[in-house]
Amino acid sequence: MDLKGMHILVTGASQGIGAAIASQLMAGGARVAVHYNSNRARAEALLAANNTSASVALGANLEDPGAVEGLFRQSLDALGHLDALVLNAGIFTPHPVSEPLDSWWRTWRQIQAVNLDAPGLLTRLAIEHFRQRAGGRLVYIGSRAAFRGETADNLGYAASKGGLTSLARSVARSYGKEGIKAFTIAPGFTHTAMAEQAIAEMGQALLEETALKELTRPEHIAPLVAFICSGQLDHATGTVIDINAGSYMH
């Protein structure tokens, strides 16, 4: 996929799905702002592994709106402009209703801050920037949970991903004639550090609900993101693309 000349910000890109996406984009020739929360060394190792000095690692705590805006501004400073944003960063923190209310609510708010509020603010900033450049693309990494729901211990996660999907569709409908396209990719359980504990606990039961012989891996998702960023899927703006090993179809 030829992405030469493209400048792209990927959130949550130091590991997992985000790292696979950033690597795929850099392999295609894009300059990438690789966002990380706290693991700077891992983000810089990703840049080194891709043998690029044209991309940059940028740290930001997405729970902090000021840091979110700062990440966007730093991306522009480092790359000059942005052609696409990949809104991948997210957290999956169980918070059963058996917890004390204040603890449950604290986790709920943290999930919304990272999974929905930060993408919302970045979307607002991106729309302003893309309008000045006659267009751009937003790729939201959602979840099948937005459609089939999640377990009782993960109400906040499902709610955040439902909001993310609605946000993407609203952007696509509202700004398409200005050249701004938006897409949602909805994975199921994927082999990442965030999901490994749940995968280990649920074991064979997860495989039994899939149509394929294995769970999704980050490298199964990354090529689609590159394809979207290339512009060759623009007429699918507003759509949700499921990548979940056939575990949920709609």
139-164 residues labelled b (16+ CB within 10 A) or e (exposed): bbbbbbbbbeebeeebbbbbbbbbbb
Domain ranges, ordered by start, for the chain: 7-243
Instruction: Evaluate whether 47 touches 55 at the Cβ level (below 8 Å).
Output: yes
| 2 vs 46: CA distance, rounded Å | 20
**Does domain 7-243 fall into CATH 3.40.50.720?**
yes
Contact by Cβ (8 Å): 202, 1: no
Q: Is 175 a catalytic residue?
A: no
Looking at residue 47, its amino acid is L
pLDDT score, position 190:
80
- Residues 52 and 23: beta-carbon distance below 8 Å: no
Map 95-152 to HEC letters: CCCCCCHHHHHHHHHHHHHHHHHHHHHHHHHHHHHHHHCCCEEEEEECCCHHHHCCCH
Among this protein's residues, is 157 annotated catalytic? yes
Which pLDDT tens digits describe the chain residue by residue (250 residues)? 899 999 999 999 999 999 999 999 999 999 999 999 999 999 999 999 998 889 999 999 999 999 999 999 999 999 999 999 999 999 999 999 999 999 999 999 999 999 999 999 999 999 999 999 999 999 999 999 999 999 899 999 999 999 999 999 999 999 999 999 999 999 987 867 665 676 666 667 777 788 888 888 999 999 999 999 999 999 999 999 999 888 888 8
Annotated catalytic residue: which of 4, 36, 140, 161?
A: 161
Strands 240-243 and 180-187, by their bridges, are parallel
**Among 87, 176, 185, residue whose Cα is nearest residue 135:** 176
Catalytic residue, candidates 36, 140, 157, 175: 157
